[in-house]
Amino acid sequence: MTPIRNVLFIMCDQLRRDYLGCYGHPSIRTPHIDALAARGTRFNRAYVQGPVCGPSRMSTYTGRYVASHGATWNFVPLPVQIPTLGDYMRGAGLRTALVGKSHVLPDIAGLWRLGLDPASGMGALLAEGGFEPFARHDGIVPDAKAELGKPPYNGYLQQQGYDARNAWHEFANAGADKHGQLQTGWKMRNAGLAARVNEEHSETAWVTDEALRFIKEQGESPWCLHLSYVKPHWPYIAPAPYHEAYGPADVVPAARSEAERTQGHPVLRAFQQHVDSQSFARDEVRNTVIPTYMGLVQQIDDHIGRLMKELKALGREDDTLVVFTSDHGDLLGDHWLGEKEMFYESSAAVPLIIVDPRTGSKGKTCNALVESIDLIPTFLDALGAPPEGRWLEGQSLLPTVCGTCTVAREAAFSELDYAYYPAARSLGLDVNQARATMACTDRWKYIDFAGFSPQLFDLQEDPQELLDLGTSASHVATRAEMQARLARWRGGLRSRATMSDHEARLLAERRNTMKDFVIGAW
């Protein structure tokens, strides 16, 4: 059997689990992602460690919970000391490249304190979170970033003749009205227009092109490629023909109840006041945006089809582990919310498909609770590399992928630092008071809000999470049990990260069999 030599780690941004054919969407067309699921293992209960890009990704890239890496929100730097995917993969002998989005922010203060120049080779690698930025593209390029940052995708568009100060915005993320006037993709009213870019020059196409360029460049040398699409994250605007691939008839009704607006949890109600939530509360918005969202997903699917075909043609299908996932979902009006904060299934749950070409496990599904911190241990396991015992907090999913579903985890955990949102301001919270943590078991989803009553949902009886049992008199015991789980989890976080369990056992052995002297002997 061909051993695994490469890792193709595909991530979408803001892709809901239920917006894929293989996860049951009634009308979306994602045949190529479905084909991955048919070749591999599809996880039905995969959670991200935080329902926001930055903290979620930092957990995936470090294999640590958010509380254990500290980058609790977008724009909070990841402490430079924490080893990342790049360290682990390079340690296993793989060149490790990023194509697309990472959201890594350099820990400049940390670098300088250690005497490391961010412009040096080591400094630059650390500043990129351990990735070689083969073709980094984080998406979302406001004008200031276009001018200062010189993003490679903007340069690419300009080479293709898209001449603008900010080609990302004016072509790839804007449309034209019937008078030919530019209409910005920032406004959701324009979601139905075709982006002013040929499909082959769109972000999704370019990122796929760059991925293939990297894979070809590698030839027979082993690699780990993080292919990280910026879509279907907003701006919600798609190039033709994907802008009109779906219509209002394809829009699945929002999961929401009137009671959520009038008597919902105080933090939920504060988030419902956000601009995006207010927009998605309107059917007009959902009917305009969601078809485009679906088109963006289908576009990614088509490019994944192209990629997988090329991978096979290059002879890489049999020695490459393929992983497909997302960094969080998109509420799209569920619970009267936009964006992705909070821990509803539309947000904290993600698709996860793992294809190990060595296994005969075709089209398997697994209902165990898995987490995005499990990915690095899975990669190491698939590569036959020794497990790292110091920093990683997850567990390998390979036994599940290759055998039967045997993940032993009684709950999945996810965290939110919402200090930076208008919701925190309207609730009068200072920057260390806006914390929420989810513990989710097979049946119960419990959310601990610092300073507020919790949320509790019975996923078995109420899969749409419409009935908050957070103050229900008949669920006192369940809440206490969930709170105890949360406490055990917090107390058990891997803070002792400079010593592996194996080293700790050796040290205990030495301490208990000291030859030099016996402590306290008479």
Any idea what DSSP says for residue 445?
A: E
Q: How many CB atoms lie within 10 A of CB 219?
A: 8
Helix %, strand %, coil % for the chain, to 5? Answer: 40, 15, 45
> How far is residue 380 from each of residues 52, 186, 315, 369, measured CA to CA in Å?
26, 40, 22, 20
54, 77, 222, 351: which one binds a copy of itself (CB under 8 A)? 77
Please, which residue, 73 or 246, has the CB nearer to a copy of itself?
73
Q: How many CB atoms lie within 10 A of CB 278?
A: 14
Please, which residue, 179 or 511, has the CB nearer to a copy of itself?
511
Applying CB under 8 A, the span of 43-51, 67-75, 310-318, 350-358 interacting with a copy of itself comes to: 67-75
Rg, the chain, Cα only: 23
Helix axes 375-383, 53-62, angle to 10 degrees: 30
Contact between 126 and a copy of itself (CB under 8 A)? Answer: yes
Please, which residue, 91 or 357, has the CB nearer to a copy of itself?
91
| Window 136-195: residues binding a copy of itself (CB under 8 A) | 142-144, 184, 186-189
| Window 437-496: residues binding a copy of itself (CB under 8 A) | 437, 448, 450, 483, 486-488, 490-496
Evaluate whether 304 touches 36 at the Cβ level (below 8 Å).
yes
83, 151, 175, 377: which one binds a copy of itself (CB under 8 A)? 83
Please, which residue, 408 or 517, has the CB nearer to a copy of itself?
517
CA distance 195 to 288: 14
| Window 337-366: residues binding a copy of itself (CB under 8 A) | 338-339
Q: How far apart are CB 501 and a copy of itself at their closest, in Å?
A: 5
Q: How far apart are CB 26 and a copy of itself at their closest, in Å?
A: 25
> How far is residue 235 from each of residues 231, 271, 300, measured CA to CA in Å?
9, 20, 15
Please, which residue, 401 or 482, has the CB nearer to a copy of itself?
482
Please, which residue, 259 or 431, has the CB nearer to a copy of itself?
431
- The DSSP line for 88-104 is HHHHTT-EEEEEE----
112, 113, 216, 367: which one binds a copy of itself (CB under 8 A)? 113
Q: How many residues bind a copy of itself (CB under 8 A)?
A: 89
Q: How far apart are CB 462 and a copy of itself at their closest, in Å?
A: 26
Residue-wise burial string across 287-324, b where 16 or more C-beta atoms lie within 10 A, e elsewhere = bbbbbbbbbbbbbbbbbbbebbebbeeeebbebbbbbb
Helix (H) or strand (E) holding 435: strand 435-440
Question: Residue 512, SS3?
Answer: helix
Q: How far apart are CB 264 and a copy of itself at their closest, in Å?
A: 19
1, 26, 75, 262: which one binds a copy of itself (CB under 8 A)? 75
Evaluate whether 366 touches 359 at the Cβ level (below 8 Å).
no
Applying CB under 8 A, the span of 28-36, 205-213, 405-413, 506-514 interacting with a copy of itself comes to: 506-514
What is the x/- site pattern for a copy of itself, positions 393-432, by CB under 8 A? ------------------------x-xxxx-xx----xxx
24, 362, 406, 508: which one binds a copy of itself (CB under 8 A)? 508
Q: How far apart are CB 244 and a copy of itself at their closest, in Å?
A: 20
Report how far apart the first and last C-alpha atoms of the chain are (Å, whole number).
Answer: 62
The tokens for 509 are 């052995």
What is the x/- site pattern for a copy of itself, positions 203-242, by CB under 8 A? -------------------------------x--------
23, 171, 229, 280: which one binds a copy of itself (CB under 8 A)? 280
Please, which residue, 113 or 213, has the CB nearer to a copy of itself?
113
The tokens for 153 are 């995708």
CA distance 413 to 48: 8
Rounded to 10 degrees, the C-alpha dihedral 178/181/185/191 comes to -10
Q: How far apart are CB 490 and a copy of itself at their closest, in Å?
A: 4
Please, which residue, 22 or 188, has the CB nearer to a copy of itself?
188
The tokens for 399 are 């036994």
Residue-wise burial string across 393-402, b where 16 or more C-beta atoms lie within 10 A, e elsewhere = bbbbbbebbb
Helix (H) or strand (E) holding 289: helix 283-313
